[in-house]
A = this chain, B = another copy of it.
Amino acid sequence: MQPLNWGIVSTGRIAEQFVSDMAAVNNGIVHAVAARKLTDAQAFAQRHNIDKAYGSYQSLFEDQDVDVIYIGTPHTFHFQQARDAILAGKHVLCEKPITVSSEQCRQLSTLAKSRGVYLMEAMWTYFLPAIQQAKAWVDEGRIGTIKHVKADFGYPIEYNPNSREYNADLAGGCLLDMGIYPIAIASYFLNRNIDYWHVNAELAPNGVDKDVIMLAEFGEAKATLATSFQCKLNNYAYIIGDKGYIALHDFWRAKSCELYHLEERVDYFEDNRTTFGFNYEAEAVGKDILSGKTESEVVTHDRSLWLQQQMERVKTFF
């Protein structure tokens, strides 16, 4: 089968990493890249041996050789760009958060379904081998019934109201930027609705969230989650059951997982990868598309919508 041709939107850091990981993907190649400035796209194409470079996103969407678009721009651009790509008949993998509201997410989902194209939010963490291993341990009953999920994701980012992270017009704030990961990991392992949220947030002088602590009830299980632009948090996820727990170091990009029974580490997995880890999701997306699917079974449209809805619930506490 012919490998899929990918088209890349953006030449930023995340797009660089994604494209470098495409070398490890066996069902796709990067065919073209687009940026607002043609010279940026050309420089990026040269660095990564990409055939075509465009100075407009629309030109990329209209390239008949491109099968699937990867969108790696800041949050607030996702909706319009994903929409334009879908309208041009392209499949789309869009960085998280896929949109900045549940309403936008619902619209994109409806549009993709009506056009019969594939749409997935790039929640790459779900596809990492260590997360898959952790899930297998849970499914095998090795930690018993899950009672708690704890996950933190925080890095200090100095306050600058003009930076993307702190700019309200660009949907800045630690919740959308990093807080989506702890919520997503809790959702992945608990896989049911949240009955209750309690949130404590610190806001920057311009009103953008810089520190958020979240307590969520998923039935009898609880999640304690945190995200911060103030502090480097410990950035582990712990999946805690009544018979043991799993520790995931830097869970959002996990390379390993550890299984504990009381004080003893009874099992360990490491993926020994040399990539950032974007190849696993890219390959999964390729497999889905090549087999004719229009939706991932892992990151369903409903799951993306649910994530958007939860972030909206969290924001009501700000």
Contact = CB atoms under 8 A, between A and B. Distances in A.
Interface string A167-210: 00000000000000000000000000000001010100000000
A115 B224 CA distance: 46
B222 A224 contact: no
The complex is assembled from copies of this chain, and their number is: 2
A297 interface: no
A3 interface: no
Interface size class of A (residues with CB under 8 A): 35 or more
B226 A244 contact: no
Interface string A228-254: 101111101010111111010000000
A224 B227 CA distance: 13
A147 interface: yes
A54 B238 CA distance: 48
Given A213-B215, A215-B198, A233 B240 contact: yes
A256 to B, nearest CB: 15
Given A224-B226, A231-B240, 17 more contacts: A147-B211, A147-B230, A148-B228, A148-B233, A150-B234, A156-B242, A198-B198, A198-B215, A202-B220, A211-B222, A213-B222, A224-B224, A231-B245, A232-B240, A232-B263, A233-B245, A234-B245
Interface of A: 147-148, 150, 152, 155-156, 198, 200, 202, 211, 213, 215, 217, 220, 222, 224, 226, 228, 230-234, 236, 238, 240-245, 247, 260-263
30 contacts: A147-B211, A147-B228, A147-B231, A150-B152, A150-B234, A155-B262, A156-B242, A156-B243, A198-B198, A198-B200, A198-B215, A200-B217, A202-B220, A211-B222, A213-B215, A213-B222, A215-B215, A224-B226, A230-B242, A231-B242, A231-B245, A232-B245, A232-B261, A232-B262, A233-B238, A233-B245, A234-B238, A234-B240, A234-B245, A234-B247
